Structure 1
Amino acid sequence: MLPSEWFTMHEESIDIRKLSSLYSTFKTKRDLERLLLRCGLDHVSGDPRSCIDSLLRKHFHNECVVKSAFVDKVLIRRSSCNVAAFEVPVGTSRVDICEVGRNSTGYEIKTGFDTFARLETQMRDYLDVFDYTYLIVPEGRSEEAATVVPRECGILSYTPYRSSLTFHIRRSASYCTAKNPLKQLNSLSNTEIRTLTDADRYLNRDELISGVLERYSSKRINSLFRLAVKERYRDRWNYLKTHIDEIYSIDYEWFFSNNVEPSMMYQ
């Protein structure tokens, strides 16, 4: 019997939730072997990180798994001019994924483990700053989601497909014409605002933002917001794209944030 066949036969004995909660990019091969044994696998053969990556992609569709599948199936195939980023602060929220090209798009993920409790606040924050906003949910929650989020929000559903996920547009997002320039500026650092507007470096933040609001139209501020976000995350996104074939999907976000050589972490 091949190791992969033996492994498939024993998948049901694994505590997948525990495995997900205890996994870390920092763990060594030996640490991960112990983790698999601790979570119910009675024998480990081959690369334990590969085993964990495969198990989570197949059996535990948490936010990390959905994000990585969305990168693989959607974002990585976009124009090379586009930049994507994880966990971008916007208002009082942090958007799970944002993508900036000619337009900006925010993606909020709600898995089968999440509630819609904070969704109203999150959607308002995203509609205030992004050109388009999408909610990503399991296929079985798409109808419920349509009754919860504003009509301008698009809805993407995902379904298991082989060892990954596939995504479908259930409702297209509308271009948001009523964005909030103040909230867009508050999402940027002082340095980003000064760099894009040539503002006086001695102005405090309130003066800086007030000056931009007086001098620039909302359309211009939206362009500046897109440019700032794109520049902020360009190098990190390009690093992930360049090394994506060397990185396990469960580690995409970690390497996006840290830009460490995969060979150093996967010794």
Structure 2
Amino acid sequence: MLRTINQEQFSIDNIAVTTLARSYNILSSQVQLKNLLSSVLLINDINKFTKYELHNLFNEIIYKYYNGETTVKALLVKYFIRERVVAAFEIKSNKSRIDFLRINGSTMSYEIKSELDTLLKLKKQVNDYQKLFDYNYVVIDEKHLTNAREIIPSQYGIISVCNGKLSEILKAKKNIFICASSQLNLFTKKELEYFFEGMNCDKNKILKKYSPLKLNEIFRAMLKDRYEKKWGFLLEHRREILPIDYQFFFNNNILPSIIYT
């Protein structure tokens, strides 16, 4: 039976929880996990917890009490994991990095602004993503909603984060500002060779030969090809993976039993 704790055993302090969330490392040893948890939990028998139970406690605390990006990413995975799509974390997008991406018949980007984030970079980020993806969303804590509406383009959608739940409050419109040359810049050399055979990775030649519509179609195919295996691993093992750890297992495709025991 999985050992857990009651809410009364938490020493709930926002600063402590934030420190715990930012210090959590899935690759930490059992001793390191115990020591870090002891700084937040009022529990006498923590030495009796297995390594998996310690990871589970971290996830329970972070997922329930931490209002940062890590938690919002976990919410997004749970929101979309039953759909027949490919998704990915942390995608380089021009000089920015999109937090979450879905690829099916279209590409959909999701930029996260949690309660703990600022909006200082948002204008640049949304402009970068608008050059690349079919539909774009900002996933944003309620406290940022008013200010965010003044920054994001009219085609952007908005998903609100409140009390651990996601709510779409504005549906994204089809993006008409996609830039084919910006999309090509996301291809690796190997991907250029594969998807544009015989073009010698010459982006100028590619832009002349293919229409923007066709390049966008190839761009989608490239992203799906790049991330399908990683996302498939996460789907296959989702019942074994704790929510806060989704991104680690997406990136590394290591069996959860190896990490948690």
TM-score of the two chains, using structure 2 as the length reference = 0.92
CA apart distance, 1:148: 1.5
> Does residue 143 of the first structure (1) align with residue 146 of the second (2)?
yes
User: Aligned runs of 1:153-164 on 2, under 5 Å?
Assistant: 153-160=156-163
Q: Measure the CA separation in 2 of the matches of 1:198 and 1:119.
A: 37
1:9 is paired with a residue of what secondary structure? helix
**Residue in 1 that maps onto 2:252:** 258
CA apart distance, 1:10: 2.5
**Residue in 1 that maps onto 2:243:** 249
Confirm or deny: 8 A CA contact 1:18 1:39 kept in the other structure: no
Relative to structure 1, is the Cα distance of residues 130 and 13 closer, same or farther in structure 2, using a 3 angstrom cutoff?
closer
**Residue in 2 that maps onto 1:30:** 31
Q: Give the alignment partner of residue 65 of structure 2, picking from 56, 59, 67.
A: 59
1:187 is paired with a residue of what secondary structure? coil
Confirm or deny: 8 A CA contact 2:139 2:161 kept in the other structure: yes
Code of the aligned partner of 2:70: C
2:131 is paired with a residue of what secondary structure? helix
1:108 is paired with a residue of what secondary structure? strand
Q: Measure the CA separation in 2 of the matches of 1:258 and 1:55.
A: 24
Q: Measure the CA separation in 2 of the matches of 1:216 and 1:194.
A: 15
2:81 is paired with a residue of what secondary structure? helix
CA apart distance, 1:77: 2.0
Relative to structure 1, is the Cα distance of residues 13 and 123 closer, same or farther in structure 2, using a 3 angstrom cutoff?
closer
Relative to structure 1, is the Cα distance of residues 9 and 122 closer, same or farther in structure 2, using a 3 angstrom cutoff?
same
Code of the aligned partner of 1:75: F
2:97 is paired with a residue of what secondary structure? strand
Q: Give the alignment partner of residue 214 of structure 1, picking from 202, 205, 208.
A: 208
> Does residue 11 of the first structure (1) align with residue 10 of the second (2)?
yes
**Residue in 1 that maps onto 2:185:** 186
Aligned residues: 252
CA apart distance, 1:118: 0.7
Q: Which has the higher helix share?
A: 1
Q: Give the alignment partner of residue 76 of structure 1, picking from 69, 77, 81.
A: 81
CA apart distance, 1:123: 0.4
CA apart distance, 1:122: 0.6
**Residue in 1 that maps onto 2:91:** 88
Confirm or deny: 8 A CA contact 1:28 1:266 kept in the other structure: no
Q: Give the alignment partner of residue 109 of structure 1, picking from 93, 98, 112.
A: 112
Confirm or deny: 8 A CA contact 1:29 1:49 kept in the other structure: no
CA apart distance, 1:13: 4.3
CA apart distance, 1:140: 3.0
Code of the aligned partner of 1:167: L
Q: Measure the CA separation in 2 of the matches of 1:13 and 1:180.
A: 47
Q: Measure the CA separation in 2 of the matches of 1:225 and 1:13.
A: 46
1:148 is paired with a residue of what secondary structure? coil
The unaligned stretches of length 5 or more in structure 2 are: none
**Residue in 2 that maps onto 1:99:** 102
Q: Measure the CA separation in 2 of the matches of 1:175 and 1:54.
A: 37
Q: Measure the CA separation in 1 of the matches of 2:148 and 2:10.
A: 32
Confirm or deny: 8 A CA contact 1:145 1:155 kept in the other structure: no
**Residue in 1 that maps onto 2:221:** 227
CA apart distance, 1:40: 4.6
Identity rate, percent: 28
2:11 is paired with a residue of what secondary structure? helix
Code of the aligned partner of 2:82: R
1:136 is paired with a residue of what secondary structure? strand
Confirm or deny: 8 A CA contact 1:13 1:41 kept in the other structure: no
Q: Which moved more, 1:247-256 or 1:143-152?
A: 143-152
Q: Measure the CA separation in 2 of the matches of 1:197 and 1:34.
A: 53
TM-score of the two chains, using structure 1 as the length reference = 0.90
Confirm or deny: 8 A CA contact 1:90 1:187 kept in the other structure: yes
Give RMSD over aligned pairs: 1.5
The unaligned stretches of length 5 or more in structure 1 are: none
